[in-house]
Amino acid sequence: MADSGTGASGAGASGTGASGTGASGKGPSGTPLARKIGIGPGHRIRLRHAPAGWDIPGLPDGCDVAEGGPRGADVAVAFYRSYVDLVAEGPGLVGDLADDAMLWVAWPRRAAGHVSDITENGLRDLFLPLGVVDVKVATLGVDWSGLKFVRRRENRRTQPRTQPRR
């Protein structure tokens, strides 16, 4: 298991404040982290292995942030330092992902001087065969990079209803 030694206490549900390992509030683009990663009002956010002090500045009203996997979440953010730990948990993350949910997989940013054997291509090699597709890469604070995955349309368990053309 890839536990960074912290639990949900590392996640600030209020979205205020940040520490050295957390998010600065706005990235280089000036976009608040909550908006950058697709969090909307009332979303359920689940954090797996969130490091101490990491939070999500700019949370909209009514959001629920808790430690856990993607089951029941609108947005899940899972933090990993080691590829072997990610390989062990990756299939479960995708299996628990709702059809319309987002999964962000975060790994230490090399640009911030961190060492990790996780790469974007390694993430794609692991996750794409599981039925998801990557749609965005972003910095998730000073120390973390993230790759966003969503379930491929053809792999969704419930297909959206299509309206007949008029």
6-35 pLDDT per residue, tens: 333 334 443 333 333 445 455 556 889 999
CA distance 101 to 55: 20
Contacts of 97 (CB under 8 A, 6+ apart): 70, 76, 103, 132, 149, 151
**Angle between the N-to-C axes of helices 83-95 and 120-127, in degrees from 0 to 180, rounded to the nearest 10:** 40
pLDDT of residue 144: 94
105-120 pLDDT per residue, tens: 999 997 778 889 999 9
What pTM was computed for the model?
Answer: 0.79
In sequence order, what are the beta bridge partners of 107?
Answer: 145
34-91 pLDDT per residue, tens: 999 999 999 999 999 999 999 999 999 999 999 999 999 999 999 999 999 999 999 9
pLDDT of residue 30: 81
pLDDT of residue 52: 94
Tell me the fold of 8-152: Rossmann fold (3.40.50)
pLDDT of residue 160: 58
Look at residue 113 and give its three-state secondary structure.
coil
Alpha carbons within 13 angstroms on the beta-carbon side of residue 45 total 30
pLDDT of residue 21: 44
